[in-house]
């Protein structure tokens, strides 16, 4: 899922300054799961903004709404009335959600209330870790399901680098060495032969090179 974090209240105040009627718009999908932009967080951030603005001597109206998914026009439509009534939307969706709302309402200021951080998983309660760099050319099949592009600090495809200590990365004792994990995993599943292959330089043309990416499925187009 997409993992995000809220911006600080002073940052948000600066973003919405001079707007008097704000809609704080949450998203019921990824950012709800990572406790950054769901219904509960919309309520908390809205309350904080009302308190902060009153403290600053400003009178702003903050409305709250959470829709099922901000990156989908079908669900964005359900927020149409509230969006039309406000001066600006403070979206607590991910970067995709914010842009989807902005594209759907070209005349309405739409601001991001979160910092979208990474694609990851819930490791344990309150802990999310990055697992995928969305490089566009997945190598997981060759590395036992552990991504060196994301989880190796040097993004090495032919590791380990020699800087690790036992099973820890040299950048931090808290950071496991991805290559140690890859070796152990491939040993466990009997695929260490894969490590004999020298990986060529990665083809980054499928990543952000050349601008934002588009996937077209002709079999699903209308």
Which residues contribute to the site for other proteins (CB under 8 A)? Answer: 8-10, 44, 47-48, 50-52, 54-56
Shortest Å distance, C-beta 6 to other proteins = 10
Q: Which is nearer to other proteins, 44 or 171 (CB)?
A: 44
Q: Which is nearer to other proteins, 41 or 83 (CB)?
A: 41
Q: Which is nearer to other proteins, 51 or 121 (CB)?
A: 51
Rounded distance, CA 208 to CA 200, Å? 19
Shortest Å distance, C-beta 18 to other proteins = 19
Q: Which is nearer to other proteins, 9 or 139 (CB)?
A: 9
CB 131 within 8 A of CB 66: no
Q: Are strands 2-6 and 114-124 parallel, antiparallel or unpaired?
A: antiparallel
Q: Which is nearer to other proteins, 125 or 196 (CB)?
A: 125
Shortest Å distance, C-beta 10 to other proteins = 7
Shortest Å distance, C-beta 45 to other proteins = 9
**Residue (of 139, 157, 144) closest to 193 by Cα position:** 144
Shortest Å distance, C-beta 58 to other proteins = 11
């Amino acid at each position: 899922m997409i993992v995000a974090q809220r911006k600080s209240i002073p940052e948000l105040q600066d973003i919405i300054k001079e707007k008097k009627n704000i809609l704080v718009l949450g998203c019921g999908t990824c950012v709800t799961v990572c406790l950054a932009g769901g219904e509960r967080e919309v309520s908390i951030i809205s309350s904080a903004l009302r308190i902060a603005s009153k403290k600053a001597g400003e009178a702003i109206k903050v409305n709250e709404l959470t829709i099922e998914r901000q990156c989908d026009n079908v669900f964005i439509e359900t927020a149409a009335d509230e969006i039309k009534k406000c001066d600006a939307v403070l979206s607590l969706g991910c970067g995709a959600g914010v842009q989807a709302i902005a594209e759907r309402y070209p005349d309405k200021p739409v601001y991001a209330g979160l910092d979208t951080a990474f694609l990851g998983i819930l490791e344990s309660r309150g802990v999310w870790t990055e697992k995928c760099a969305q490089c566009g050319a997945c190598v997981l099949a060759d590395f036992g399901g552990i991504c060196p592009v994301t989880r190796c600090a040097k993004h090495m495809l032919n590791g380990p680098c020699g800087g690790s200590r036992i099973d820890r990365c040299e950048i931090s004792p808290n950071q496991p060495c991805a290559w140690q994990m890859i070796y152990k995993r491939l040993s466990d599943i009997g695929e260490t032969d894969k490590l004999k292959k020298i990986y060529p330089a990665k083809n980054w043309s499928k990543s952000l090179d050349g601008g934002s990416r588009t996937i077209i499925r002709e079999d699903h187009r209308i």
